[in-house]
């Protein structure tokens, strides 16, 4: 079966796919407002440092484990284990990762469906089909179900194509369009009245806020979600990489693109919010904080687009198209986690695995849609607040303590004979053994406390 395993065709293809997984709704609807409310450029700096000191080592643990095994997380974690208990625990960690990745996809597909709906609504409304446009943008069970199903079908469609013809091909198409659209929208918004005020709020550093412990912890949490860590997405992408690639530097590039696009999103979102404010749209909540997340995306920005006339429809279509693309390159990486497992564990064809997993997660998502108020928040926090950090700790323990140092060094030496002399080998093992697990546990304890 090893011969039939998919592989990325080029380094750039891998980097765009992994960055595509990382850059998602989290970057655009969370990061900019979080930065603005928490010290602007000072927050950006702290985020950057934390992303590299803490999230990057975990990303590397996933990439290295995956490439070492050339298999899914269950295979990877059992292969490096020696005793029966470590093996069983490794297999369970891999399985829980699959469940958590599926849970994340089940809520992500709902939100991504809304993005699709808004993308289509503006052109429809311009064509005079206002009733359809309203249907697509109004919260209701049938609309949520239909759009989620369409988004899931798109995700399944790409995954059916496999690693090279599906994931890599679509990531190399979609990621450049995402970057170009974001740059173009940002450049346009910066020309409007009020934009500079937003830019100032984003960029003027206020170090007094940054020193608060809570903030550092919040930044850490979002860096973790943003780099898609814990659930085995990066692990499985790493497993499709050739042994010739130098993983430490590839990991740096992926992390840089993720952080870079989050920062870039700030140049679009914050000026846009202050342009909206200059046009009479409310951008602060009752407590004086900037409106964020769903209110920002589905209320504040549409209110701004409405004031821009015909250009507004174009800008809106481009913006929601951008959000849909960001979501799609992330959702394929989530679906690949269960699909790779089904293919490798049960010898299923990719077609069967992708249809089955996609359908099963679609059904789960439908249950969440129908019981939105009870389930949506629960699934989000179960998977991202509890699942991801706990799995992250397990991955650190396996990469740092269970994995034999010689075998790990050999993995690094595959394409770098002097790996034992390099910076990575000097710093990373210590980080992943001690620093990362301790810090993640602290974040976790505080976030549930
Ligand atoms: N990184 C994605 C985002 O920022 C979310 C994600 C989490 C993707 C976990 C895959 C796995 O939106």
Whole-number Å distance between alpha carbons of 271 and 193: 9
Ligand 1 atom closest to the CA of 24, numbered from 1: 12
Among 380, 370, 367, 233, CA closest to 293: 380
Show the ligand 1 pocket: residues with CB < 6 angstroms. Answer: 21-22, 24-27, 104, 225-226, 228, 231, 233, 330, 333-334
Looking up residue 71, the CATH number of its domain turns out to be 1.10.4160
- Comparing 146-160, 197-211, 349-363, which segment has the lowest mean pLDDT? 197-211
Work out the average pLDDT over 295-309: 91
Domains of the chain: total: 1
| Burial (0-12, 13-18, 19+ Cβ within 10 Å), 418 | exposed
Say if CB 424 and CB 248 are below 8 A apart: yes
Give nearest CA residue, ligand 1 atom 3: 24
Cα 376 to ligand 1 centre (Å): 17
Does 5 fall in a domain? no
What are the pLDDT digits (tens) for 249-268?
999 999 999 989 999 999 99
Ligand 1 atom closest to the CA of 388, numbered from 1: 9
Does 17 fall in a domain? yes
What are the pLDDT digits (tens) for 376-391?
999 998 898 888 888 9
Does 44 fall in a domain? yes
Model confidence at 244: pLDDT above 80 = yes
pLDDT of residue 1: 41
Ligand 1 atom closest to the CA of 330, numbered from 1: 8
Model confidence at 211: pLDDT above 80 = no
Whole-number Å distance between alpha carbons of 376 and 13: 33
Say if CB 42 and CB 206 are below 8 A apart: yes
Does 262 fall in a domain? yes
Which range scores top for mean pLDDT: 13-17, 23-27, 284-288, 438-442? 13-17
Whole-number Å distance between alpha carbons of 301 and 38: 21
| The pTM of the whole model exceeds 0.85 | yes
Helix then strand then coil, in percent of the chain rounded to 5, is 80, 0, 15
Ligand 1 atom closest to the CA of 101, numbered from 1: 11
Work out the average pLDDT over 234-246: 94
Say if CB 238 and CB 247 are below 8 A apart: yes
Cα 221 to ligand 1 centre (Å): 12
Ligand 1 atom closest to the CA of 326, numbered from 1: 12
Does 327 fall in a domain? yes
Higher pLDDT, 99 or 37: 99
Q: Who contacts 296 (Cβ-Cβ below 8 Å, separation ≥6)?
A: 29, 33, 269, 273, 290
Range of the domain at 337: 11-448
Q: Where are the alpha helices (DSSP H) in 193-308?
A: 195-203, 207-210, 213-226, 233-239, 247-278, 293-295, 301-306
Whole-number Å distance between alpha carbons of 63 and 56: 10
Largest CA distance in the chain: 67
Confidence of residue 274 (pLDDT cuts 50, 70, 90): very high
Whole-number Å distance between alpha carbons of 120 and 419: 50
Does 1 fall in a domain? no
What are the pLDDT digits (tens) for 364-377?
999 999 999 999 99
Work out the average pLDDT over 75-84: 95
Among 291, 290, 328, CA closest to 17: 328
- Comparing 103-107, 117-121, 148-152, 275-279, which segment has the lowest mean pLDDT? 275-279
Q: What is the Cα gyration radius of the chain?
A: 21
Does 3 fall in a domain? no
Cα 297 to ligand 1 centre (Å): 18
Residue bearing tokens 């607040």 = 385
Q: Who contacts 107 (Cβ-Cβ below 8 Å, separation ≥6)?
A: 365, 368, 376, 379, 380, 383
Does 311 fall in a domain? yes
Say if CB 231 and CB 337 are below 8 A apart: yes
Give nearest CA residue, ligand 1 atom 12: 24
Model confidence at 222: pLDDT above 80 = no
């Amino acid at each position: 079966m090893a011969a039939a395993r998919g592989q990325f065709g080029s380094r750039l293809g891998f980097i765009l796919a992994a960055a595509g997984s990382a850059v998602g709704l989290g970057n655009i609807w969370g990061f900019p407002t979080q930065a603005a409310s928490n010290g602007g450029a000072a927050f950006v700096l702290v985020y950057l440092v934390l992303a590299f000191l803490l999230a990057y080592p975990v990303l590397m643990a996933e990439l290295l484990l995956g490439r070492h095994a050339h298999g899914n997380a269950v295979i990877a974690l059992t292969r490096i284990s020696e005793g029966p208990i470590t093996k069983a625990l490794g297999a369970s960690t891999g399985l829980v990762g699959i469940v958590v990745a599926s849970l994340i996809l089940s809520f992500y597909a709902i939100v991504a469906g809304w993005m699709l709906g808004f993308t289509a609504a503006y052109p429809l409304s311009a064509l005079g089909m206002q009733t359809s446009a309203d249907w697509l943008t109004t919260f209701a069970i049938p609309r949520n179900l239909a759009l989620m199903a369409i988004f899931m079908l798109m995700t399944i469609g790409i995954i059916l194509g496999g690693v090279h013809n599906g994931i890599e091909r679509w990531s190399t198409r979609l990621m450049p369009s995402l970057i170009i659209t974001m740059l173009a929208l940002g450049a346009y918004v910066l020309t409007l009245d009020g934009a500079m005020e937003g830019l100032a709020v984003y960029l003027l550093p206020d170090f007094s806020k940054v020193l608060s412990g809570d903030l550092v912890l919040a930044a850490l949490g979002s860096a973790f979600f943003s780099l898609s860590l814990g659930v085995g997405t990066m692990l499985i992408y790493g497993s499709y990489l050739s042994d010739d690639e130098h993983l430490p530097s590839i990991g740096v590039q992926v992390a840089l693109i993720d952080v870079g696009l989050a920062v870039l999103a700030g140049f679009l979102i914050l000026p846009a919010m202050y342009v909206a404010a200059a046009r009479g749209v409310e951008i602060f909540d009752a407590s004086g904080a900037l409106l964020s997340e769903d209110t920002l995306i589905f209320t504040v920005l549409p209110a701004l687009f409405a004031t821009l006339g015909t250009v507004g429809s174009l800008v809106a279509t481009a913006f929601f198209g951008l959000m849909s693309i960001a979501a799609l390159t992330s959702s394929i990486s989530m679906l690949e986690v269960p699909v790779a497992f089904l293919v490798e564990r049960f010898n299923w064809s990719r077609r069967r695995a992708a249809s089955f997993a996609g359908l099963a997660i679609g059904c789960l998502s439908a249950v969440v849609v129908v019981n939105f108020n009870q389930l949506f928040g629960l699934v989000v926090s179960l998977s991202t607040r509890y699942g991801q950090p706990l799995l992250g700790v397990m991955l650190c323990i396996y990469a740092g303590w269970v994995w034999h140092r010689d075998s790990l060094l050999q993995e690094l030496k595959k394409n770098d004979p002097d790996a034992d002399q390099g910076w990575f080998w000097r710093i990373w093992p210590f980080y992943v053994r001690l620093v990362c697990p301790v810090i993640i546990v602290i974040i976790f304890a505080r976030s549930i406390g």
